[in-house]
Amino acid sequence: MTRQDPHRHYLSPWAKQDRAPAGPSFDRGEGAHLVGDDGARVFDFSSGWIAATLGHSNGDMADAVAEQMRRLCFAPPSFPHALRSELARRLSDLSPWSEGARVHFTTGGGEANDDAVKAARLLTGRTKVMAAYRSYHGTTGTAAGLTGDMRRWASEPTTFPAVRFFAPYPYRSPFHTDDPAVETARAMDHLSRIVIQEGAHNIAALVIEPMVGSSGVIVYPEGYLDALRRFTERHRILLIFDEVMTGFGRTGAAFAAERFGVAPDMITFAKGVNGAAVPLGGVMIRESVAKGFDDRVFDIGHTNAGHPVAMASGLAALDLYERGDLFARAREIEGLMAERLDALRQKHPLIGDVRGVGAFWGIELVGDRASRAPLIEWYAADPSLNHSLVDEMLRRGLWVYARYGILMLAPPLVATDDDLNDAFDRLDGALGWLADTLEDPK
């Protein structure tokens, strides 16, 4: 297939370039919807890449950004700047730590993970870092080494290879059980064995998504994160939650740390911090850990870290979350999504598993419910079925981010119940289309 003219000179991520991009070229946003330059309206059921948590093209956000661009566009990160101090303070207030936090800003999630690891190594004097196989932490230098899924392969050998472990996956247990408590116990036993071989005194940090995002939308069994917390504390390993996807209301609380009741030592964030309005990310370090930098050089910096325009967008975003009570809204969305997804599961044998919390859910498609055989192999050499389904959903007015046969449903928190119910009706139709197509491939 030849490439369409508008994309002739643009390299599209994670894709063979000769595949014509599906759907319209998006021209503008209207809240939870995207509008193509042909006028087609598409409901953004995945907030882009689980990022546009506030929806699209918010006027208050645009005003805050424009105002800051006129006032002062750039101030190096070493200059004092009121918005930077204010955003750091508000993030500290939002953090799960009563002691507060200090914030280092970046321009995205991968960079935030790179810097969190560097900070952990500086603070502990240890060198190794642990990360799970089913994970995505970015493709910048260190983050690529942390990433467990196939998106790491192109970066190998990575400059910073993590010590890797299997974390629980209740639907496809790597620990051969259907019992969540056994899964957790065996996962912890597996982890301890690895740590013995690596030497706990060599391990600076353990990095984990508190709920797995694009590597499968996996909610860990109750008790697992808590067990990790106790384990890392015992070995004086810093626990880092990568909340690039789960932060800012996605799980029905400011952070998944709060939702799951486990406080790590650092949290990395991006995406939802400003609904991806402009590039912004960062690392929050709890006060008792961050004070280690009072008499030690914080040897990390980027020209665009704490960029005034990004700071203005972050503050505007926090106002929008607060004014709309959007973290609580995510809890309401949870109820609606759980109910509609349950009905879809009962209707469509193609759905093997449904899982999630807040406004972040995954549908895992299977070829056979009894054996749980995946409909699309995890590392499918041929992703065409995934592509056809995504294309069909776009034709039906839905953007759904899908990987390896797992559909990620994470609507903007400004979506109304009507928007969501309409989106579920369309999704129902698309799954019916998929079943018909598989039965009678043309």
Ligand X SMILES: Cc1ncc(COP(=O)(O)O)c(C=O)c1O
- Would you tell me which residues interact with ligand X (CB under 6 A)? 49, 108-110, 113, 136-138, 209, 213-214, 242, 244-245, 270, 281
In the complex, what is the shortest distance from the CB of residue 49 to ligand X, in angstroms, rounded to a whole number? 6
Contact 249, 331 (CB under 8 A): no
Tokens of 326: 């959007």
Residue of closest CB approach to ligand X = 109
Residue 2 burial (10 A CB sphere; 0-12, 13-18, 19+): exposed
Tokens of 87: 């955003």
Closest CA to 55 of 269, 284, 242, 329: 329
Looking at beta carbons only, is 138 or 374 nearer to ligand X? 138
In the complex, what is the shortest distance from the CB of residue 356 to ligand X, in angstroms, rounded to a whole number? 15
In the complex, what is the shortest distance from the CB of residue 357 to ligand X, in angstroms, rounded to a whole number? 15
Distance CA 82, CA 12 (A): 37
Tokens of 57: 């093209």
Looking at beta carbons only, is 195 or 409 nearer to ligand X? 409
Strand bridging mode 238-242 / 203-208: parallel
DSSP string for residues in 366-378? EEETTTTEESS-T
In the complex, what is the shortest distance from the CB of residue 96 to ligand X, in angstroms, rounded to a whole number? 17
Looking at beta carbons only, is 46 or 113 nearer to ligand X? 113
In angstroms, the Cα distances linking 353 to 132, 162, 363, 394, 430 are: 21, 30, 6, 23, 17
In the complex, what is the shortest distance from the CB of residue 143 to ligand X, in angstroms, rounded to a whole number? 6
Distance CA 70, CA 196 (A): 56
Looking at beta carbons only, is 137 or 355 nearer to ligand X? 137
Strand partners, 7: none
Looking at beta carbons only, is 49 or 433 nearer to ligand X? 49
**How big is the chain, counted in residues?**
442
Closest CA to 373 of 171, 132, 150, 134: 171
Strand bridging mode 101-106 / 281-286: antiparallel
In the complex, what is the shortest distance from the CB of residue 80 to ligand X, in angstroms, rounded to a whole number? 27
Which residues of 270-414 form beta strands (DSSP E)?
281-286, 351-357, 360-368, 373-374, 398-399, 401-403, 406-409
In the complex, what is the shortest distance from the CB of residue 135 to ligand X, in angstroms, rounded to a whole number? 7
Q: What is the DSSP letter of 161?
A: P
Whether the bond into 157 is cis, omega within 30 of 0: yes
Phi, psi of 106 (to 5 degrees): -135, -170
Looking at beta carbons only, is 160 or 424 nearer to ligand X? 160
Looking at beta carbons only, is 174 or 279 nearer to ligand X? 279
Closest CA to 134 of 146, 126, 123, 124: 146
Strand partners, 238: 205
Looking at beta carbons only, is 150 or 435 nearer to ligand X? 150
In the complex, what is the shortest distance from the CB of residue 323 to ligand X, in angstroms, rounded to a whole number? 26
Looking at beta carbons only, is 94 or 132 nearer to ligand X? 132
DSSP string for residues in 427-442? HHHHHHHHHHHHHS--
In the complex, what is the shortest distance from the CB of residue 198 to ligand X, in angstroms, rounded to a whole number? 23
Looking at beta carbons only, is 211 or 415 nearer to ligand X? 211
In the complex, what is the shortest distance from the CB of residue 400 to ligand X, in angstroms, rounded to a whole number? 16
